[in-house]
């Protein structure tokens, strides 16, 4: 397999987002109800959720995993690629604390070239993953992740050099709540240099409450990722007047685009149902790998893993069908394990 990777150089794939430490536990329905959580959702923590982070640790058996959507995807991409190390770069903001040290160590173990902006005003961000059955409700307390500053980190000469080295860029929609100006700087660089800029719809609340920021970035998006719930919300918010996922994909593909050399590609996953992808004026469906319900340990991270697998092939200029296949493979591996974790080596061809 190594022969395919000879043209890959370090820092070819760039990600920027919210680095969070996941605190994950199997909880009960009462816990969800107490904090007004839907079984399958992603939200930002409000005041009423403050106690949740303490209670989940006291009441349930928790596991700590390095998380944050973009960081997960970047890590999975590096794992799929294996060699050389540090093909993947990650930028984000953490605190100078124990959780921050864990994130640094985990990025290092995953051979990701992570450059964190470290500050002392806020502690490292956390995300409570409240698992019931094969659902997961995510409550993110961004804290330090919310403190990322373009002028304090992205604009620094040595950091911007790393951005310029990349040929594929990935940012989860979650980062739109943190630093739109950082996203736009990266997106414009990609567009002006005919490189690939990819974005994830990430969660329904992004399309609902950060619509303006999302649509400011959309003209630069070459590949748009999302799942069926996010696609439906996006359609509603954009007035597409359709709930048909293929139609939504076509309409998203047709939104205005700055770099006309590349048609936009839209990729929507649908859990155990097939993944759909636009290709020219066609929409294709790709079945996911079959898995026995009893083998599913934790679906948290499945979407991130899909994107990581997809990007690992995209950065090697592989066919889009192969990118989807790699995405399905990575997701299939991840859901058999707790957290967004993976075995030592992938077995993907």
Residue whose token pair is 């950091």: 159
Q: Which residues pair with 227 in a beta bridge?
A: 269
Pinpoint the alpha helices (H) of 125-239: 157-165, 180-192, 204-209, 211-217, 228-238
Q: Which of 38, 65, 20 is nearest to 130 (CA)?
A: 38
Name residue, tokens 């920027």.
16
Question: Taking Cα atoms as reference points, which of 170, 172, 12, 8 lies closest to residue 88?
Answer: 12
Strands (E) in the chain, as ranges, are 13-16, 20-26, 41-44, 63-67, 88-95, 113-119, 125-132, 135-141, 168-172, 196-200, 223-227, 265-270, 273-279, 282-286
Q: Are 275 and 267 in contact (CB under 8 A)?
A: yes
**C-alpha–C-alpha distance, residues 335 and 72, integer Å:** 13
Say how far apart CA 123 and CA 94 lie, in whole Å: 7
And the tokens for 168?
């594929």
Q: Indicate if 292 belongs to the active site.
A: no
Selecting among 298, 304, 317, 347, the annotated active-site residue is: 304
* Catalytic residue annotation: 304
């Amino acid at each position: 397999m190594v022969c395919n990777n000879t043209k890959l150089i370090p820092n070819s794939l760039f990600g920027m987002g919210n680095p969070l430490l996941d605190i994950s536990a199997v909880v009960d329905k009462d816990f969800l109800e107490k904090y007004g959580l839907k079984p399958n959702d992603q939200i930002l923590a409000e005041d009423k959720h403050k106690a949740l982070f303490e209670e989940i640790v006291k009441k349930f058996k928790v596991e700590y995993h390095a998380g944050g959507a973009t960081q997960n995807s970047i890590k999975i991409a590096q794992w799929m690629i294996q060699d050389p190390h540090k093909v993947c770069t990650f930028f984000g903001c953490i605190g100078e604390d124990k959780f921050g040290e864990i994130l640094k160590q985990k990025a290092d173990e995953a051979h990701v070239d992570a450059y964190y902006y470290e500050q002392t005003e806020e502690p490292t961000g956390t995300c409570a993953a409240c698992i019931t059955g094969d659902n997961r409700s995510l409550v993110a307390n961004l804290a330090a992740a919310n403190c990322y500053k373009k002028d304090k980190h992205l604009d620094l000469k040595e950091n911007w050099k790393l951005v310029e080295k990349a040929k594929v860029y990935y940012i989860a929609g979650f980062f739109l709540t943190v630093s739109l100006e950082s996203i736009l700087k990266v997106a414009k660089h990609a567009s002006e240099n005919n490189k690939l800029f990819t974005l994830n719809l990430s969660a329904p609340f992004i399309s609902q409450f950060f619509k303006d920021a999302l649509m400011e970035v959309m003209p630069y998006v070459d590949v748009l990722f999302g799942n069926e719930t996010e696609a439906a919300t996006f359609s509603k918010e954009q007035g597409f007047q359709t709930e048909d996922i293929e139609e939504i994909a076509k309409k998203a593909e047709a939104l205005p685009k700055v770099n006309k050399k590349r048609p936009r590609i839209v990729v929507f996953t649908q859990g155990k149902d097939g993944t759909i992808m636009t290709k020219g004026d066609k929409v294709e469906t790709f079945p996911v790998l079959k898995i026995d319900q009893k083998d599913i340990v934790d679906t948290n991270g499945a979407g991130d893993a899909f994107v990581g697998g997809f990007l690992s092939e995209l950065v090697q200029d592989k066919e889009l069908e192969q990118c989807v296949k790699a995405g399905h493979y990575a997701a299939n591996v991840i859901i058999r394990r707790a957290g967004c974790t993976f075995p030592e080596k992938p077995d993907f061809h």
